[in-house]
Chains A and B, each alone.
Chain A
Amino acid sequence: MSWHDIVLQTLKRNDIRLVPYVPDRVLTTLIKNLHADPFFTTFPAAREEEAVGIVSGAWMGGMRGAVLMQTSGFATLANVLASLAIPYQIPLIMFVSERGTLGEFNYGQSLVCRTMRPVLDSLAMEHHTATRLDEFEFIVDRSIKQAITTQAPVALILSPLLTGGKVFDK
């Protein structure tokens, strides 16, 4: 099974139906497959922060969600994490396609990538970097369950080691 099949199947198994996203090249197949599956309500949001607001509202209304984004999108989220997801104890589940490392060709992406883990650590947020297919389902499934039971957000960072990443000639 590919990494994106694992994401889709694990979301489904955990009854996560609402998946707003701001796209990334690496997420293309996952996004296409989510759209093709009537189990999911999936759509683009204009900003990552907006998508976080949407899944937060849905959680409070009894519907589970997750947000898909890339590294530079995560960099826009410090305020909403610190003022909504964490203090209101919302199990925000984020999948972040990692740009900026292991072959990055855009200097700005490589710089913004360096802000991601310090922001997560400064807020003491749970986060994992997925690099291996054989561990991936375990990480995703357990992280979703932990987020929901502990009412705390989690960031699952999808390393180029897992996804292949984006390379210059793509």
Chain B
Amino acid sequence: MNSANDNPARNTKVMNRFDLTSRLIAKLKNEEAVIGGIGNTNFDLWAAGHRPQNFYMLGSMGLAFPIALGVALAQPDRRVFALEGDGSLLMQLGSLTTIATLAPKNLTMVVMDNGIYQITGAQPTPAAAVADIVAIAVASGLANSTWAADEDDFERLIEQSISAAGPTLIGVRIDDKPGTGTTRRDPVQIREHFMHGMGVREPL
């Protein structure tokens, strides 16, 4: 069976999740929200440097984009980034249509696509050899959806998304490396810190 990296439809560079996440975090200067999907996606977000505006998911696979949509609707003046794995996104493809319909201009979505469920033993996803996530996003109504060609292109697309007139989705092909850190699994503290980071609450 083909893996994602053999898929002839994709000629973009295979990058690394932790490196890309670190590049994103280094760009953030305005208390932007970042929602990290379950597993390696939020492990690498954690490892890239904890910030109060980061939210780490510990379950509910596939909900990074819906959670980010909720934050974006609640705070239209804040930029919201969502990081999601390809396997997770397959769980909630319908959410792309919801986001396209509501069209929040402060939402940037990144799909980390390695074509595998890395954390469960690197089994290929059903989409790996046949589907193009960015094409699915475009067909769902997210016209501003693009594969990042390489790291520089990723950074350029992130910057471009900040002034875009609608939501942006960036697909990145990544390697099969596991996450570099492990999020501290304390959901109440994660949520409370995030709410402090969002300016919704003050610490006790």
Contact across chains for A87 and B63 when beta carbons are under 8 A apart: no
The residues in A between 75 and 89 inclusive whose CB is less than 8 angstroms from any CB of B are 79-80, 82-84, 87-89
* Interface window among A26-34, A42-50, A104-112, A124-132: A42-50
A-B contacts besides A56-B67, A57-B66, 15 pairs, CB < 8 Å:
A46-B98, A53-B63, A53-B70, A57-B68, A58-B74, A61-B33, A61-B72, A61-B78, A62-B74, A62-B75, A62-B200, A79-B59, A79-B61, A80-B60, A88-B191
Kindly list chain A residues whose C-beta atoms are within 8 Å of the C-beta of B73.
18, 41, 54, 57-58, 61, 63
For this complex, 29 residue pairs linking A to B, each with C-beta atoms less than 8 Å apart, are: A18-B73, A45-B94, A46-B94, A47-B94, A49-B63, A52-B63, A53-B92, A54-B66, A54-B73, A54-B98, A57-B67, A57-B68, A57-B69, A57-B71, A57-B72, A60-B71, A60-B198, A60-B200, A61-B72, A61-B73, A61-B200, A62-B74, A63-B70, A63-B73, A80-B59, A84-B57, A88-B190, A88-B191, A89-B188
Min CB gap B171→A, angstroms: 20
Q: How far is the CA of A56 from the CA of B75 in the complex (A)?
A: 13
The residues in B between 36 and 80 inclusive whose CB is less than 8 angstroms from any CB of A are 55, 57-63, 65-75, 78
The residues in B between 72 and 97 inclusive whose CB is less than 8 angstroms from any CB of A are 72-75, 78, 92-95, 97
The residues in A between 1 and 37 inclusive whose CB is less than 8 angstroms from any CB of B are 18, 20
Give the number of residues in A that approach B within 8 Å (Cβ atoms).
33
Give the number of residues in B that approach A within 8 Å (Cβ atoms).
39
Contact across chains for A57 and B98 when beta carbons are under 8 A apart: no
Contact across chains for B102 and A50 when beta carbons are under 8 A apart: no
Kindly list chain A residues whose C-beta atoms are within 8 Å of the C-beta of B95.
45-47, 50, 53
Binding site for B on A (CB under 8 A): 18, 20, 41, 43-47, 49-63, 65, 79-80, 82-84, 87-90
Contact across chains for B70 and A61 when beta carbons are under 8 A apart: yes
Q: A61-B75, A88-B191 are in contact. Are A18 and B70 (CB under 8 A)?
A: yes
Q: Does B101 contact A (CB under 8 A)?
A: yes
Q: A80-B60, A82-B59, A83-B59 are in contact. Are A58 and B71 (CB under 8 A)?
A: yes
Min CB gap B80→A, angstroms: 8
Q: Does B195 contact A (CB under 8 A)?
A: yes
Contact across chains for B60 and A49 when beta carbons are under 8 A apart: yes
Q: Which of A52, A53, A60 contacts B194 (CB 8 A)?
A: A60
B170-203, CB under 8 A of A: which get 1 and which 0? Answer: 0000000000000000011011001100111000
Contact across chains for A50 and B194 when beta carbons are under 8 A apart: no
Kindly list chain A residues whose C-beta atoms are within 8 Å of the C-beta of B102.
43
| In the complex, residue of chain A having the shortest beta-carbon distance to the beta carbon of B188 | A89
Contact across chains for B74 and A61 when beta carbons are under 8 A apart: yes
Q: Does B35 contact A (CB under 8 A)?
A: yes
